[in-house]
A and B are shown apart, each in its own frame.
Chain A
Amino acid sequence: MDPGSICAGELLKEGFMPPIGQPFSFSFAEGGMNNPVALLPLGAVLAAAFGLFLLLPSPKGGPRFLGYLIVIGALVAFVASMARGTAFSIELLLQQIFSAAAILGAVFLVTQANPARAALSFTLVVLGTSGLFLTLGAPFLAAANVIVYAGAIIVTFLFVLMLAQQDGPSDSSSRSRDPFMASLTGGLLLFVIAHTVTGDRDRFSVVGNQSNPAPVMPARVVEEQSGRLDATGRLAIPAENTAFLGADIYRHFLIGVELAGVLLVVATVAAIVIAQRHTANFPAESSEVKA
Chain B
Amino acid sequence: MIPPSDYPGLSQHLLVGAVLFCLGLVGFLARRNMILAFLNAELMVQGVALNFVAFSRYRGNLEGQSFVLFLLTVAACEAAIAMALILVLYKNRGTLDVSVWQELREDSLDAVEDTDPLPLPAAQAPMPPLPTAGLGPQQPEELSRV
Contacts and interface: CB of A to CB of B under 8 A. Distances in A.
Contact of B12 (A79, A163, A174, A193): A79
B35 A157 contact: yes
Given A86-B9, A141-B65, A271-B81, A172 B33 contact: yes
B43 A125 contact: yes
Contacts, number: 333
Given A109-B27, A171-B95, A173-B36, A138 B16 contact: no
Given A204-B58, A206-B59, A237-B61, A115 B15 contact: no
Interface of A is mostly: helix
29 contacts: A56-B26, A56-B30, A79-B19, A82-B8, A82-B12, A106-B24, A109-B27, A110-B27, A110-B40, A125-B20, A133-B49, A133-B53, A138-B68, A157-B35, A161-B35, A164-B96, A166-B96, A169-B118, A172-B95, A173-B36, A175-B118, A176-B32, A177-B32, A190-B18, A205-B4, A217-B61, A248-B63, A272-B84, A274-B85
Interface in A241-285: 241, 244-245, 248-249, 252-253, 256, 260, 263-264, 266-268, 270-272, 274-275, 281-285
Nearest to A186: B26
Interface of A: 3-4, 52, 56-57, 59-61, 75, 78-79, 82-86, 92, 95, 99, 102-103, 106-107, 109-110, 115, 118-119, 122, 125-126, 129, 132-133, 136-138, 140-141, 144-145, 148-149, 152-153, 156-157, 160-161, 163-164, 166-179, 181-183, 185-187, 189-190, 193-194, 197-198, 201-202, 204-207, 209, 217, 221, 224-225, 232-238, 241, 244-245, 248-249, 252-253, 256, 260, 263-264, 266-268, 270-272, 274-275, 281-285
Interface stretch (B86-94, B103-111, B128-136, B138-146): B86-94
Interface of B: 1-5, 7-16, 18-27, 29-36, 38-40, 42-43, 46, 49-50, 53-54, 56-63, 65-66, 68-70, 72-81, 83-88, 90-99, 114, 116-122
Contacts of A167: 121
